[in-house]
Structure 1
C-alpha cells in the first residue's frame, strides 16, 4: 500500500480474525490450549493460574509451542521433548512427569497432562495441556485438578456430546423463521426489500425456487456466496450459504446463531442489511443486500493513506454504527477495514460472528456543558430601514446539552478479534467491554490516515508486546493535524477506563473537536469521498475494486490485491492463524 506522498507499499498480509470458536471459562487451574490445526500446534490460550505458576505474561506464551514448558537443561531433556511431541501427535489423553522451567529460569517437578478436545464427529481440534506443580501439595489434589479441567472440556467444545445426538437440532429456532422477511423500517425504500415484500405477499414464504443463480461470487471457511436474481426482476442479491453439518462438526453453531441474531435485530443504514434466511435440511441461506464498492482495505490499497477529511467521513459513519450496536447491547469486537464495506461510497459494517451478544444496555441522558458561538444582530437597522439584519458582534456562550449514554453492561471474557486490532485488555486476559470497540476505532483511524497499523510487528508475540507496552508513535515523515492526533491518542489509551468513549460512549467520541462542524444527522446524505467505478468487482468476492474520487483525484495509485472477507461475512481459509476464545 502506498502512503501519502508516495513511498514503499508494505507487504500485504491477510489479517484473519482470531477465532477459537469454543466456550472457555476462566478455570482456576494452570492450563494451555493448543491448536492442532496450525503449524507447530501453538498455544492459543493460557489460563490465569498458568501465568501465575510460570511467572510470565500472556503475550509471552501465545503463539509458542508448548515444549517451552520443558527444562532444556534437564538430563533427559531430549527424551522428554520427544515423548511430549509423540503425545501431541497421538491425540489421546496421556501424562508426562518431567521438569518444567519458569520464565525466571527456576525449575520444578511437574506433571503435564494432555487432554484432547474432540468435536461431535470425534475429530481432535485442540489439546488442553494441564500443568501441575508437584513440588508440594498432595497427589490426590493433582488428580482432582486434572479431572475438573477434563470435565470442563465439554463446555469448551460447545457440548459436543449434545450436538452428536441425531435428534437434537441446534438450528431449530432459525429453521422456524425460514422464508420470513425480516421487518426493516429503514429499508422501506430499498428496491430489493420492496420486491421481496411483493413476493411474500403474492407467493408466501421465500423459497430458493424464487431465485435464479447468476454466478458464484466467492467462498471461504464458513461457506460460499452467490449472486442471485429474484425471478426476472433484474434485481440481484447476495446469497450466503452455510452448511449446517459443517458448522456442527467444526463447533461453529454458536457463531452462526450469534450472527443470525445480530443480522435480524439490526436495522441501520450503516450496517449490513439481511432481508431474511431460507433454511433447508442441509443449509442455511442468508439473503443480503449486495455492496458494490468493495471495502475500506481495498480502498486503501487503491488510493493509499487517505486525506483527513476522508478519514473523518468514514470514521464518523463507523462511529454511528457502533453507537447503534452498543444501544442494542452488542459489542462488535472485529472492527477493521476489511469489515467496512462501501455501498454507494458509504460505510457498511459487516461480519458479526465475533460479536458479544449478551450485553444489556440501559440508556440514560447526561447533561453536558458545551461552548457555542452566539451571533449578535443589529435589530435597530431592521426597524429603521427594513433591510436584513447585520451581524455586529459574536461571543461564546456555555450551554447545557443532553448526551445519550448507551453502553452495554457486559463483562466479556474472550480472546477474539484481529491481531493488529486487539485491545490490550483482551491480550492481557482481563474482562472487557465496549472500550475494545473504541480501541479498534483508534487503530482504524491510524491505518486510514497513515496506511499502516500503529503496533504492527513481524510476529504475533512482538505485536502483542507492542500493543500492551509500546507507547503510541506517529510516523515522522507523515504528519497529521493536532486534532486527529489527539483523537487517536484518546482512543488508543491502553487503560480502558481512561480511554475515550469509556465513560460517555459514542457521544463522547462524537463530541471530539476533530468532528467539529460535522452534521451527524445528515451523514447518509453527504457526498462520499469515493465511489466505485460502475462494473468494478463487488467487494471482495475475491478481487479488488477500482475507485474514482468525487472530491479529488490527485492521489490515485495502484493498489495491491489482498484476500479478505466478503460482504456477507465469509472469511478466507488457510490464510492466517484462526483462533477464537468466545464466551457464548
Structure 2
C-alpha cells in the first residue's frame, strides 16, 4: 500500500462516500476506547533514540498527558493512499502544527474478511520498531468503528513515483546503491527482530523530507523467532555463482548463541572481565565478529505478495522463510536500475510462470556494472537455500563488491540523490473543520501505472 505517499491517488469519488461516518465517530463522546497503554505502547515507552528531537513526540505527549488521544484531536486533511486493510490520511494534531499519517481500519470490514489478525500483527510490529529507516508509531487508539495508527508522515512520495520522474524512468547506479543500502539496513533490522517483511517494492519505500527512505506497510509481514549468533567473520566475498551461503557459513566458528527475546546477543562481558578491542581482535583471529540474526528456521505456507515480486518458493507452495526478502531485494534492485521487473509477463499467470520457469535476463540497455549484475544473480537464485544471504543475511550482501566503499556506520549521513521539495502546509491553514473521510472499504491498493502490481493473499 502507498501509505503516506504524497503521490498516491486521491480519488474524488472515494473521498465523498459515506463522508459522515468517520467524522461522526471522531465527534462522538467517549470515542477513544482500549487506549494503547500496553507494554509495547509507544505512548508509555521512552522516546526512540533516533527521534530524540522529534517535535511530533512533544505534540503527542502534550495531549496524551491530559487525556486519551482520539480522532477528535486531529484534523484529517487528505487521503494519501489506501490498501487491503485500511486507508491512510494526512492529519494535523490540533493546536500543535504537527502533522502525521493516520492509518484508519474499519473493524467491521476487517472482521467480515478475516483480516483482524493482519491488522493486529501490523500494530504489534510497528510498536517494536526503532530504526531510522523504518516508521515510528506515535500512538494507537480505537473508536467504536475504527482502529487508528498514528504514524510518521513522509512528504517525498515513494520510490515508484520518483523512478517515474527520472530520465528514461530508471535510477543511476549510484542512486540505486544509495536506496538499496538503506533498504538493506532496514531489512537486516527486521530480521534481527524475527520479522520477515514479504512486501518489498518501490511503492512501499517512502522518501522522507531529507531524502532518506522509510520502509512502510507491514500488514503482510510474518513474525517468528530468531536466534542471534556471533560468528567469526570470513569477509572474503565468494562469487554467488560458485558457492552457496551455507558453504561459507560452514567455514565459520560460532562464538555465541542466545535465545533471548532481545535481538542483540550479550557479546560483552562485565567491565571487570571485559577484554580490550585489541584482545578481542586477537581472540577472533584478527577478524572482528559478525552478528548473524537471520530467521532461517521460519516456514510459512501463506500465498502473499505482489505478482512481479513473488519468490518461486511461494508460487510453488513449498513453504517459505526469510529468504523471500532477499529475492524481493533482488527484484527491487533490478527495477531501480532498469525501470522494469525481470519476470513480468503479459498477465499475472504469465508472470508467475516466468518467475518459476524462466531464466534471469538483463536488457542490453541501460548498461550496468558487472558487480551489480553479480549481486542480482545471487539474489535471484530460484532455490532459496542457494540464494545469497540465505544463512548469513544482510552481512553477506554488505560485503559484496557492489557495495564496496559504503560506510555502513554512516549511511544515515550520506547525501541523498534526491531531496523532495518541502510541503507547504499553509494550504491547509484555512480549513476550520476536519476533512470528512469516507468509510474504509476493501479497495485494491493504489498502483498508479503499475497495473500488474496487484497484492493478494490466499490460504
The answer for the alignment partner of 2:376 in structure 1 is: 488
Matching of residue 197 in structure 1 with residue 61 in structure 2: yes
> SS of the residue aligned with 2:184?
helix
The answer for the alignment partner of 1:407 in structure 2 is: 294
> SS of the residue aligned with 1:287?
strand
Q: Is the CA contact 2:304–2:457 (under 8 Å) kept in the aligned structure 1?
A: yes
1:432 Cα deviation after fit: 0.9
The answer for the alignment partner of 1:336 in structure 2 is: 201
How do 1:311-460 residues align onto structure 2 when only pairs under 5 Å count?
Answer: 311-343=176-208, 344-357=210-223, 359-370=224-235, 399-408=286-295, 409-460=297-348
1:235-289 Cα distance to aligned partner (Å, 9 max, x none): 1111221111111012111110111111111111111221111111111111111
1:477 Cα deviation after fit: 2.6
Q: Is the CA contact 1:307–1:449 (under 8 Å) kept in the aligned structure 2?
A: yes
Specify every segment of 5 or more residues in structure 2 that has no aligned partner in the other structure, as ranges: 1-8, 10-32, 238-284, 426-442
CA separation of 1:180/1:532 partners in 2, compared to 1, >3 Å: closer, same or farther? closer
How far apart, CA to CA, are the structure 2 residues paired with 1:444 and 1:573?
16
1:204 Cα deviation after fit: 3.5
CA RMSD of aligned residues (A): 2.8
TM-score if structure 2 supplies the norm length? 0.72
The answer for the alignment partner of 1:389 in structure 2 is: none
> SS of the residue aligned with 2:148?
strand
The answer for the alignment partner of 1:223 in structure 2 is: 86
The answer for the alignment partner of 1:135 in structure 2 is: none
CA separation of 1:458/1:173 partners in 2, compared to 1, >3 Å: closer, same or farther? farther
Q: Is the CA contact 2:140–2:149 (under 8 Å) kept in the aligned structure 1?
A: yes
CA separation of 1:469/1:215 partners in 2, compared to 1, >3 Å: closer, same or farther? closer
The answer for the alignment partner of 1:572 in structure 2 is: 446
How far apart, CA to CA, are the structure 2 residues paired with 1:234 and 1:277?
20
> SS of the residue aligned with 1:517?
coil
1:381-424 Cα distance to aligned partner (Å, 9 max, x none): xxxxxxxxxxxxxxxxx952311110123111121110010111
1:200 Cα deviation after fit: 2.7
Match of 1:260 among 123, 129, 133: 123
How do 1:484-523 residues align onto structure 2 when only pairs under 5 Å count?
Answer: 484-523=372-411
> SS of the residue aligned with 2:298?
coil
Matching of residue 279 in structure 1 with residue 142 in structure 2: yes
Matching of residue 533 in structure 1 with residue 421 in structure 2: yes
The answer for the alignment partner of 1:296 in structure 2 is: 159
Q: Flag the structure with larger Rg.
A: 1
The answer for the alignment partner of 2:259 in structure 1 is: none
Q: Is the CA contact 2:331–2:342 (under 8 Å) kept in the aligned structure 1?
A: yes
The answer for the alignment partner of 2:105 in structure 1 is: 242
1:217 Cα deviation after fit: 3.8
1:176 Cα deviation after fit: 6.2
Identify, as 1 or 2, the structure richer in strand.
Answer: 1
> SS of the residue aligned with 1:316?
helix
> SS of the residue aligned with 2:175?
helix
1:32-61 Cα distance to aligned partner (Å, 9 max, x none): xxxxxxxxxxxxxxxxxxxxxxxxxxxxxx
Specify every segment of 5 or more residues in structure 1 that has no aligned partner in the other structure, as ranges: 1-13, 15-171, 373-397, 538-568
1:571 Cα deviation after fit: 2.9
CA separation of 1:536/1:464 partners in 2, compared to 1, >3 Å: closer, same or farther? farther
Match of 1:476 among 336, 348, 364: 364
Q: Is the CA contact 1:182–1:264 (under 8 Å) kept in the aligned structure 2?
A: no
How far apart, CA to CA, are the structure 1 residues paired with 2:444 and 2:86?
7
> SS of the residue aligned with 2:305?
coil
TM-score if structure 1 supplies the norm length? 0.57
> SS of the residue aligned with 2:458?
coil
Q: Is the CA contact 1:456–1:466 (under 8 Å) kept in the aligned structure 2?
A: yes
> SS of the residue aligned with 1:225?
strand
